[in-house]
Structure 1
Amino acid sequence: MRTSSPAQARLTAGLVATLVFVSAIAPLATDMYVPAFPRVAGDLSSTATQVQLTLTTFFVGMALGQLIGGPVSDQRGRRIPLLAALLAMTAASVVCALAPSIAVLTAARFVQGFAGGWAMVTGRAIVVDLASGVRLVRVMNVVAAVGGIALVVGPLLGGIILQLSHWRVSFWVVAAFGLAMTLAVLIAVPESLPRERRHAGGLTSFLTAGRAVLANREYVGYLVVSGAAMGALFAYVATSAFVLQSMNGLSPIAYSVDFAANAAGMTAAALIAARLAGRVATRKLILTGQLAVLAAGLAMLVGALWFGTPLFLAIACFLVLMTAQGLIIPNTGALASAAVADRPGTGSAVLGFVHWVAAGTIAPIAGLGGEHTAVPMAVLMTIGAVVSLTGLLVVSRR
């Protein structure tokens, strides 16, 4: 653990819990809303592709927010930028709840994603400020695992809201969570980056830092691993509502239960990975997850091409895909951060940027086939697994 100032907190359970809460922004803002895709399309007189575009703009905002927020936090410190981002995310959630058209909703989702990405990258940088080595790997896995509760609660809560109320209520709930996160940060998160460890600001400094982290081959390899895994994951997120509801007849609440079960699998895998940190090589855990994703993608492709994507196959493949992410993404993030420990904000920003560019690019492509085919999604899952394996076995190899 690194400390440089009396004001700097230890990485206590309370501080980790608060950072977990902040890391829940993306799953809450996405998963509570995904079960409502078919209804949003009807209510706002839009197509499935237009609704999926609101997911894309959110991901693009997340990417840009992390790319900008990381270097700013390296320059200005962590606490004030984090609070500002949470307040902006809350305001954007209110606009989403009131959006009169798909265009307004799309724009508000971009702002919501931008502010959420800024908050998430700052939270990760705080972890890197205060932990290193095996402890960093363990904490990253714990944050991902406990944060996975949001992946379980989000779709269930979204499904319940759809059963009892209107899809707009989900955005009011996200706004309330944003205020709660702001209060938690005010109480539990002190400044973790003392002035003597901050970097000079400006575009030149950011470009210099970006070139420095991208010159690290090991770091770049983990970017490929994580970005490709995220692409495979969000091919599922963007399309699964249509595969399971439109193609197989599940109700919104049944879909939400399945989504939550898959998220629970990811949480369990991340918790297991945290327990194994220091005992099993982190790269071996990542490889295990990648092979599982590849198997799920190939099985899904066969089912989509020749068997009409039967329900039991889709459910099984989605469970394997999501569970495997608990082995891949947090472990890869920890190794990437360790590879550029002298620039944690910038390293975390570039990693987050790649994550959400991949998600934003893949989401609309997965939906190109419309509501009644899973072939594009299955192809993207398989390609993502292959590219991720290449990043681990070829690019990041020391």
Structure 2
Amino acid sequence: MRASESQEPNPQLDHLGYCPDCEYLGDHPHPTVTSPTQARVGAAVIATVVFLTAIAPLATDMYVPAFPAVAAELLATATQVQLTLTTFFVGMALGQLVGGPVSDQRGRRRPLLLAVAAMTAASVVCALSPSIGVLAVARLVQGFAGGWAMVIGRAVIIDLARGAQLVRILNVIAAVGGIAPIVGPLLGAVILQLSGWRVSFWTVAVLGVAMIVAVLVAVPETLAERDRRGGGMGEFAGAARELLRNRRYVGYVVVAGSAMGAVFVYVATSAFVLQSMNGLSPIGYSIDFAVNAAGMTVAALLAARLAGRVATRKIILVGQVAALAAGIAMLVGAIWFDAPLVLAMVCFFVLMTAQGLIGPNGGALAAAEVPDHPGTGSALLGFVQWVAAGAIAPLAGLGGEQTAVPMALLMTATIAVSMIGLLVLARPSRSTR
């Protein structure tokens, strides 16, 4: 018997339109409780949140092609330049951890504007950096403010959307946001060809100004004063402990966090596997990268269409099975056949396409489990995702440029952990099956 048939509706969960066990997102397509202050989830709000979500891949991917130029101009080593990417990831993780509870306490709109302004200022400092040390610190601040803005953007959507609508919007955001990894490297390469690496950061600063205008125009305050929580970080710690005792929330965080780790295994190593090991040209690699990002975008749009029609857990599982098969095939190919080009390209495509089914849906189910703490829940999710990204990326390159075995092992392991999150930690309770 399904939960919606065996239990009374929970008003707190009806805020998001979920059944008590949060398994089927279409069980309450029309929520029974509606706040009179709740704003409509308009296209302008969604577009602004997409903008906020895209800033991280843009700030990273536009900059990566310029690593040699940065090292030459600032008299830095390759390792020191790589550190500026690490500090950005660290900032992203910490910014999401802090931004969520602050927005639960202070509301969404003002902290969001503050975060975008700080990110814009940090981008200007990056563009003017006289040394690699200043650049690393500025990237830390840029990542912190960007993570802060991203987590509040997600909280705004969680404030406004319900049930299948929430999953649909999160998948659309992921799908449209998937364009950024396609545009970022190409835009960065064009900027580098026509000018210098500093222009990439000036571009991010200009986008930051546009983002401030978009927030002012399109994003209302979505958290009424009566719904805000005092206590700052102290209450956040208590709320975090409460959330971490929720087995299913933890499970869905593991689902989404491990999927993020798999994405960055690909990001960190695909160039070495396809170019260094198999001789694919830079143009060929850029095309392949774009095709894989497009596959993820199409899958996320498909998941958005299926929201409310197909159980979201089933959609996630389909993606996990496909990604696990790609990881195992890649591992076999890496061990016995030196990761041939066609196999690597097919496995990367399947892995990245599957992420469009896994990541956004895992995040939506995690949000559904903690309707009383949307900011804190989103903060913990974002923190785990970016910690996974920052930790996995360097591990994937431990084998150097001539073997794909460590990368294939990590591909397989991250997806296996994601499946454990879904099937073990986030399994439905017996009383709701």
Contact kept, 8 Å, 1:270 with 1:327, in 2: the verdict is yes
What TM-score comes out, normalization by structure 2 length? 0.86
Q: Return the offset for 1:100.
A: 4.0
| Superposed CA offset, 1:199-256 (max 9, x none) | 1133321111111111111100011111111111111112223333444444544433
Give the counterpart of 2:250 among 205, 220, 223.
Answer: 220
| Superposed CA offset, 1:59-106 (max 9, x none) | 211111001000000000000111111111112222333334443333
> Per the alignment, in what secondary structure is the counterpart of residue 310 of structure 2?
coil
Partner residue, 1:208: 238
Percent identity (aligned) = 73
Partner residue, 2:198: 168
Q: Return the offset for 1:21.
A: 1.1
Aligned residue type for 2:182: V
Separation in 2, partners of 1:318, 1:351 = 25
Contact kept, 8 Å, 1:156 with 1:257, in 2: the verdict is no
Q: Return the offset for 1:176.
A: 1.6
Contact kept, 8 Å, 1:296 with 1:318, in 2: the verdict is yes
Give the counterpart of 1:93 among 123, 127, 131.
Answer: 123
Q: Return the offset for 1:109.
A: 1.9
> Per the alignment, in what secondary structure is the counterpart of residue 192 of structure 1?
coil
Partner residue, 2:10: none
| Shift in CA distance, 181/251, structure 1 to aligned 2, threshold 3 Å | farther
Partner residue, 1:384: 414
Contact kept, 8 Å, 1:82 with 1:118, in 2: the verdict is yes
| Shift in CA distance, 245/37, structure 1 to aligned 2, threshold 3 Å | farther
Moved more, 34-43 or 364-373: 34-43
Separation in 1, partners of 2:400, 2:122 = 29
| 1:319 is the counterpart of 2:349 | yes
| Shift in CA distance, 222/343, structure 1 to aligned 2, threshold 3 Å | same
Count of residues paired in the alignment: 397
Contact kept, 8 Å, 1:11 with 1:131, in 2: the verdict is yes
Q: Structure 1 runs of 4+ off > 6 angstroms? A: none
Instruction: List alignment gaps of at least 5 residues for structure 1.
Output: none
> Per the alignment, in what secondary structure is the counterpart of residue 392 of structure 1?
helix
| 1:332 is the counterpart of 2:365 | no
Partner residue, 1:21: 51
Contact kept, 8 Å, 2:101 with 2:232, in 1: the verdict is no
Q: Return the offset for 1:37.
A: 4.4
| 1:127 is the counterpart of 2:180 | no
| 1:105 is the counterpart of 2:135 | yes
Partner residue, 2:107: 77
Separation in 1, partners of 2:386, 2:161 = 25
Q: Over aligned residues, Cα RMSD in angstroms?
A: 2.1
> Per the alignment, in what secondary structure is the counterpart of residue 372 of structure 2?
coil
> Per the alignment, in what secondary structure is the counterpart of residue 173 of structure 1?
helix
Aligned residue type for 2:92: M
Separation in 1, partners of 2:333, 2:193 = 31
| Shift in CA distance, 145/256, structure 1 to aligned 2, threshold 3 Å | same
Q: Return the offset for 1:295.
A: 1.9
> Per the alignment, in what secondary structure is the counterpart of residue 312 of structure 1?
helix
Give the counterpart of 1:358 among 365, 388, 400.
Answer: 388
Partner residue, 1:30: 60
| Superposed CA offset, 1:134-161 (max 9, x none) | 1111111111112222222222222333
> Per the alignment, in what secondary structure is the counterpart of residue 397 of structure 1?
coil
Partner residue, 2:88: 58
Q: Which structure: larger Rg?
A: 2
Separation in 1, partners of 2:401, 2:328 = 20
Give the counterpart of 1:301 among 331, 335, 356.
Answer: 331
Instruction: List alignment gaps of at least 5 residues for structure 2.
Output: 1-30, 429-433
Separation in 1, partners of 2:277, 2:204 = 29
Separation in 1, partners of 2:270, 2:80 = 16
Contact kept, 8 Å, 1:41 with 1:47, in 2: the verdict is yes
Partner residue, 1:237: 267
